[in-house]
Amino acid sequence: MNSSRDKILNAVKEAVKIPSRIPEKPEGINAKIAESLKSITPKDYAGLRDQFAKELDIVSGEFVLVKSASELVSHLSGDMKSKNFTSLAVSDEISSKNIASHIKKELPELEFVFPADLAPEQKKNKLAKTSAALVNIDFAVADVASLAVLIDNTKSLFIHYLPDCIYVVVKPEQILANLFELFTKVPKEKAKNMLLITGPSRTADIEKILILGAHGPRRLVVYWLEEK
């Protein structure tokens, strides 16, 4: 243990012995928050989904409700075609790979990039040059339109922020009402490596003018997949 550590900790230990002169909070705060949260949270799944869609729109994300995987494939292929995208990175999950195999049929020219197949040293450069990515997430938070990615396995993380356009597939069972629920639900062992994404990257550093696509993705498209 180095001496600075001990010096700092000792100074802190000495300091905290002095009782604070800071007012206490009023009683019943947590109950009031819980009650208020309950009153503004949509009551059912459809309500949460619609809230997510509305909030996503506010943060300039795109919401597409699809009723089947094939509808998703055709919409996504059409979108890529209209944007003249030449490459698509596909996340490591089987479901993404399945969707990708169907997209391949629609867009035979398209180059597919699978992060797991890339050598570590070429991964970042390759993904940075890929037009778009097809990704999965773990949770969708309705009241702020945030997408939660738990980084607890071997799935690529680059894929969420190096390409220019991110297509996210979300399933109904992934919806959560708010951030409080998210952090209660996810055990701390998993929460400690997590990425929350809310819309495409942005800046307002020049005269407060909003620009989408700062250092990260310029577009974020959420496919809300409601399969029967």
Partner 1 sequence: MKLSPLKTKKYIHNALKDEKLLSAVDKATQTALKKREDKKDQIPYWEELRYKAHHIKKNVIENLDKYLEEFEKNCLKNGIHLHWALDAEEARQIILKLLRDKNAKTVVKSKSLTTEEFHLNDFLTKNGIETLETDLGEYIVQLMDQIPSHLTAPALHLSRKEIGGIFHKKLGIKYTEDPTELMTIARNKLREKFLTADVGISGVNFAIADSGAVCVVENEANARLTVGVPKTHIAVMGIEKLLPGFEELATFLKLLGPSATGQKATVYVNIIGGPLFNKLQEGPEEMHIVLMDNGRSKILADPQLRETLFCIRCGACLNICPIYQQIGGHAYGWVYMGPIGITLIPQYLGDKEGKYSPFVSSLCGACYEICPVRINIPHHLLKLRNRVVDKGYSMKVERFGINAWAFLAKRPLLYRFATWFPGKFQLLLPKGRAFPVPGYTRERALGTFDLKGFRKRFLKLKNSDYQDIKQKK
Q: Which of residues 165-194 bind partner 1 (CB under 8 A)?
A: 179-180, 182-184, 186, 188-189, 191-194
Query: Cβ atoms within 10 A of the Cβ of 104, count?
Result: 15
To which residue do tokens 């399945």 refer? 98
Residues in binding contact with partner 1, number by CB under 8 A: 82
Task: Copy the structure tokens of residue 61.
Answer: 């994300």
CA distance 100 to 56: 25
Q: Tell me, residue by residue from 113 to 132, as one string, x for binding to partner 1 by CB under 8 A and - for no binding.
A: --x----x--xxx--x----
Residue 211, SS3 per DSSP: strand
CB 204 within 8 A of CB 45: no
Which residue, 21 or 228, has its beta carbon nearer to partner 1? 21
Which residue, 173 or 207, has its beta carbon nearer to partner 1? 207
Among 44, 109, 173, 207, contact with partner 1 (rule: CB under 8 A)? 207
Among 151, 171, 172, 174, contact with partner 1 (rule: CB under 8 A)? 151
Which residue, 83 or 192, has its beta carbon nearer to partner 1? 192
Residue 3 is classified by DSSP as: H
CA distance 118 to 126: 8
CA distance 201 to 94: 27
Among 49, 80, 155, 175, contact with partner 1 (rule: CB under 8 A)? 155
Which residue, 73 or 161, has its beta carbon nearer to partner 1? 161
Q: Tell me, residue by residue from 80 to 119, as one string, x for binding to partner 1 by CB under 8 A and - for no binding.
A: -----------------------------------x----
Q: How far is the CB of 125 from partner 1 (least distance, A)?
A: 6
Q: How far is the CB of 71 from partner 1 (least distance, A)?
A: 28
Residue 76, SS3 per DSSP: helix
Query: Cβ atoms within 10 A of the Cβ of 96, count?
Result: 21
CB 134 within 8 A of CB 91: yes
Q: Is 224 in the site for partner 1 (CB under 8 A)?
A: no
